[in-house]
Amino acid sequence: MSNLKSETATGAEVADAPAANWVHRFLPRALWPYAQLARWDRPIGWQLLLWPCWWSAALAPQAIAPTAVLTGLPILKHLVLFFVGAVAMRGAGCTYNDIVDATIDAKVARTRSRPLPSGRVSKRQAKIFMVLQALVGFLVLVQFNLFTILAGIASLGFVAIYPFLKRVTDWPQLGLGLAFSWGALMGWAAVWGSLALAPVLLYLGAIAWTVGYDTIYAHQDKEDDALIGVRSTARLFGTRTKPALAVLYGSALVLFAAAFVAASAGAWTGPSWPAYAGLAVGALQMFWQIRSLDIDDPDQCIRLFRSNNRFGAIVFFGLVLSALWSLSVPLPA
């Protein structure tokens, strides 16, 4: 049975939101439309935005021999800041996307009950709410070094153009990947105040991963998208989606492994075997997604899409265990 809830008679709920979520249980009814704009009732978005940040934050300290300052473990303050920033900026991005797509959303069964197309929030109210969330994200950003601040500001270009891509290209998922994977650069920059080959490879891998999982997500809407002229990799790949996912996910794994190797270049340390073991387990999770996928089953597509949160966690904890393992190994003479 589907875990998605149809629009109620009151019009206060959203069709593609979970049937039971904390927003309806704990927030005043007047705040529901804003929580729905920010997708607070669907945490998978900020989770997928957060993982590249945390991967990079966990990889960067392992590119140097442990010291009193850098033990090889991720810096807790950075993890907290990236968490708050991911929630705030994902909310701001979703609000912006809904403002741009209000007309399209009104034509799609899954999205027409969202706050803007249903009329429960005006565009002016949505814009104010978007700015408030962006301000929270900016306050988080200025806690980092100048290079990271500038890098974070640079990402806004990809965020700005993403909602328009579905109108002009079959690859809007690539635009999402460019924006959603930016954290793979930010985590490294927050530690080093610069970039190197390792975070760039991590970023490219995260882009391939994002295109893959968002292709699965887009299969939910392919019939409506075809009717209204919205383009996507789901429509582009069609029955070739499984081979395409094998290429995308396989490329992501190769690039992640290359990032780990690059982080070890010239250092005695770098990611150790648990990081690579994490990638191996993650590869099994990706294989399961591809093998299980039925592109004509929307409920299964959303479940497989959400399962990428597990992949993100596997890679992150592999890196954390790598750091702990390295701490147990004596320094070379």
4 SS3 class: strand
Tokens of 114: 């969202």
Give residue 3's pLDDT. Answer: 39
Domain containing 147 — which CATH number?
A: 1.10.357.140
Structural domain tally of the chain?
1
Give per-residue pLDDT as tens, 282-293.
999 999 999 999
In a domain, 7, yes or no: no
In a domain, 2, yes or no: no
- Spatial CA neighbour of 60 closest among 76, 39, 81, 74: 74
Our measurement of the distance from residue 118's CA atom to the centroid of its chain's CA atoms, rounded to an integer in Å, reads: 27
State the Cα–Cα distance between residues 91 and 107, nearest whole angstrom. 23
In a domain, 300, yes or no: yes
Give residue 4's pLDDT. Answer: 39
- Between 5 and 193, name the one with better pLDDT: 193
In a domain, 242, yes or no: yes
Burial of 30 (0-12, 13-18, 19+ CB in 10 A): exposed
The label of the residue with tokens 């997500």 reads 217
Using pLDDT thresholds of 50, 70 and 90, give the confidence band for residue 112.
confident
Domain of residue 72: give its range. 26-327
Q: Mean pLDDT over all residues of the chain?
A: 90
Highest mean pLDDT among 29-33, 61-65, 262-266, 314-318: 314-318
In a domain, 21, yes or no: no
Q: What percent of the chain has pLDDT over 70?
A: 90
